[in-house]
Chains A and B, each alone.
Chain A
Amino acid sequence: MDIGEKLIEELGVTTVFHIGPIAVTESILNQWILIGIILILCIVLTRNLRVENPGRRQLFVESFVSWMKKVTTGMLGEEAKSYWTFTFTVLVFLAGCDMAGLLETRIIHGFTFMKPPTKDLNVPLAMALTSIVVVEAAGIIRKGVGGWLKSFTKPIAVITPINILELFIKPLSLCMRLFGNIFGAFIIMELLKTIVAFVLPVPFSLYFDIFDGLIQAYVFVFLTSIYIGEAVEE
């Protein structure tokens, strides 16, 4: 099997099992596994929280949540800060998905465990759709349907078509930026692993899996936050 074939095999999204006519792909399964890990982490970390004399574990959780709240509300701005739990969730989800490649293990021929779910176009697409829905919902909640419709004509009526186009451009750019980066990084990593499987991929993995993954998650959340902030702006 040459490199090209191997690469195509790795790049593909394998269907793990079927529920009736529905095919459950590995990216969905991997998401479930990630959610399970996050759930267990949350439960373990927030067990026996005390008001007085917090342990090191609790101090870590508290400072992490406080820090995340500060970062996300900072990006959202004063008026939209109530959406911080959502952007925080997206950040955790995307960071987890992007860094899932660290756990990548080839189980059998044709199935590799824990390929980054964001490498599957459907995942960034779903994320971008959710984001744009939340952005527009935030605008509607804040201004009402009339106010929200009027906001398309601002700042001047001439740019109304552009504003409407933005409704599609925003999620598309969010989706493609994320997908392209993770997909590209995944291709490079797979190539490297195919050529030299030992040592060499490690520094690249640090960059592509961890750094690039976190940066892309941050960029996605940052842009979503800016869109939400714009949407609730009077």
Chain B
Amino acid sequence: MDTISMIPMSVMASAAPQNIITVEWFSIAATIVNLLILFFIIRKFLVKPVSKILDERQALIDKERTEAEKANQDAAQMKQEYEEKVRQIEIERKQALSDAELRGTEEYERIVTEATKKADEIVGDAKLKVELQKRALEAETARQLADLVAAATARVAITEENADLDTDLYDKFLAKAGDIR
């Protein structure tokens, strides 16, 4: 059997081979070797380079995702900070506004108070002036009246009649004039 297998009949004889189903050890060994060769070819030229590229891409994707996540976090943090700042500014603005309002009110009140005071002062001055003028006028009137009374008395004294009555009258008049002043 082995001999037949090693040297197929077809080689020796006709074109019609006799070895349709024979076991040839070389063919088996060669097939196994071929399979091993193919195994190394596929591993070296197909699986390894493709796996390498796939792994590299995976690594790249992972890296990019990590970076994107970090960027997202940064952005979120910045947003938070920004919002915090805006809130702070809003608070400050309100504070400033209320301060200004307060100051304005104070100023207003101060001005009004001052104005009122000044007005009161002016009115007071005016009243005093009027009073003074009134008094001056009264004094003048009294002086003129006294002169008039003195003149009248002088005329009565010239007549020298009813001297007692004249004195009495004079006193009464003076008392009256004193009341007016």
B20→A38 contact, CB < 8 A: no
Closest 4 CB pairs of A and B: A12-B17, A110-B15, A126-B31, A122-B27
Tally A-B pairs: CB < 8 A. 147
- Residues of chain A touching chain B, judged by Cβ–Cβ distance below 8 Å, are 5, 8-9, 11-15, 18, 21-25, 27-28, 31-32, 35, 38-39, 42-43, 45-46, 49-52, 54, 58, 61-62, 65-66, 85-86, 88-90, 92-93, 109-110, 117, 120-123, 125-127, 129-130
- Residues of chain B touching chain A, judged by Cβ–Cβ distance below 8 Å, are 6-8, 10-11, 15-24, 26-32, 34-35, 37-39, 41-43, 45-47, 49-54, 56-57, 60
Contact pick for B15, options A39, A61, A109, CB 8 Å: A109
Apart from A89-B42, A127-B31: 14 A-B pairs, beta carbons within 8 A: A12-B19, A13-B10, A13-B27, A25-B24, A28-B31, A32-B34, A42-B42, A42-B45, A46-B45, A62-B54, A89-B38, A126-B35, A127-B35, A130-B35
What does DSSP make chain B's interface, helix, strand, loop or mixed?
helix
What does DSSP make chain A's interface, helix, strand, loop or mixed?
helix
A48 to chain B, nearest CB (A): 10
What would 27 A/B residue contacts be, using CB atoms closer than 8 Å? A11-B20, A12-B17, A12-B19, A13-B17, A13-B19, A14-B17, A15-B8, A21-B6, A23-B6, A25-B8, A25-B24, A28-B31, A38-B38, A43-B45, A49-B49, A49-B53, A51-B60, A62-B53, A62-B54, A85-B47, A88-B42, A88-B47, A92-B38, A110-B10, A122-B31, A123-B27, A129-B32
